[in-house]
Amino acid sequence: MDFFGSCPSAFRWLTNLSIQNLRFNNSDMPNLLNACDQLRFLCMSSCDSGLQSVLKIDAPHSQLMELVFDICSCVRVELIQVPKLVRVVCDTGVLESAPIVFCHVPLLRDISLTWSVMNELSPFLLSNWLSSVTSLSTLTLDFEDWIKPEDPKRLSRIFNKLRDLYLSDVFAECNLEWTLYLLEAAPSLKNFFLKVQRHKCTRNIYEGINRTNLQWKALSNFKHHILNLLDIVGFEVDYKLMTYIRRVMDRAVQLKMIRLQHKEPCDDCDAQGPLGSNFPRNEIHTDLTREILAHGFSSAIEIIVV
What distance in Å separates the CA atoms of residue 241 and residue 282, rounded to the nearest whole number? 19
pLDDT category of residue 208 using cuts at 50, 70 and 90: very low
Beta-carbon-side half-sphere exposure of residue 175 (alpha carbons within 13 Å): 10
Indicate the average pLDDT of the chain. Answer: 84
pLDDT, average across residues 127-141: 95
Strands (E), the chain: 16-20, 41-45, 54-58, 66-70, 76-81, 87-94, 100-104, 110-116, 138-142, 164-171, 191-197, 229-233, 257-261, 302-305
DSSP 147: B
pLDDT, average across residues 145-165: 89
Inter-helix orientation angle 239-251/283-294, to 10°: 50
Burial class (CB in 10 A: 0-12, 13-18, 19+), 204: exposed
pLDDT, average across residues 67-76: 86
Q: CA torsion 208→182→90→235, rounded to 10°?
A: 60
CA–CA distance from 290 to each of 126, 279, 285 (Å)?
Answer: 34, 13, 9
Total count of domains within the chain: 1
What distance in Å separates the CA atoms of residue 300 and residue 281, rounded to the nearest whole number? 24
What distance in Å separates the CA atoms of residue 89 and residue 99, rounded to the nearest whole number? 11
pLDDT on residue 294: 94
Note whether residue 132 is domain-resident. Answer: no
Condensed to tens digits (0 to 9), the pLDDT of residues 105-122 reads: 999 999 999 876 555 545
Note whether residue 109 is domain-resident. Answer: no
* % pLDDT > 90, the chain: 52
Note whether residue 112 is domain-resident. Answer: no
Please give the residue range of the domain that contains residue 283. Answer: 158-306
- Asked whether the beta carbons of 89 and 68 are under 8 A apart, the reply is yes
Note whether residue 246 is domain-resident. Answer: yes
Top-confidence range, 56-60, 145-149, 224-228: 224-228
Note whether residue 197 is domain-resident. Answer: yes
More confident residue, 74 or 101: 101
Note whether residue 68 is domain-resident. Answer: no
What distance in Å separates the CA atoms of residue 33 and residue 8, rounded to the nearest whole number? 11
Query: Nearest 5°: CA angle at 254, between 253 and 260?
Result: 95
Beta-carbon contacts of 39 under 8 Å, excluding residues fewer than 6 positions away, are 14, 15, 16, 17, 33, 62, 63, 64
What distance in Å separates the CA atoms of residue 190 and residue 255, rounded to the nearest whole number? 9
Note whether residue 137 is domain-resident. Answer: no
Note whether residue 214 is domain-resident. Answer: yes
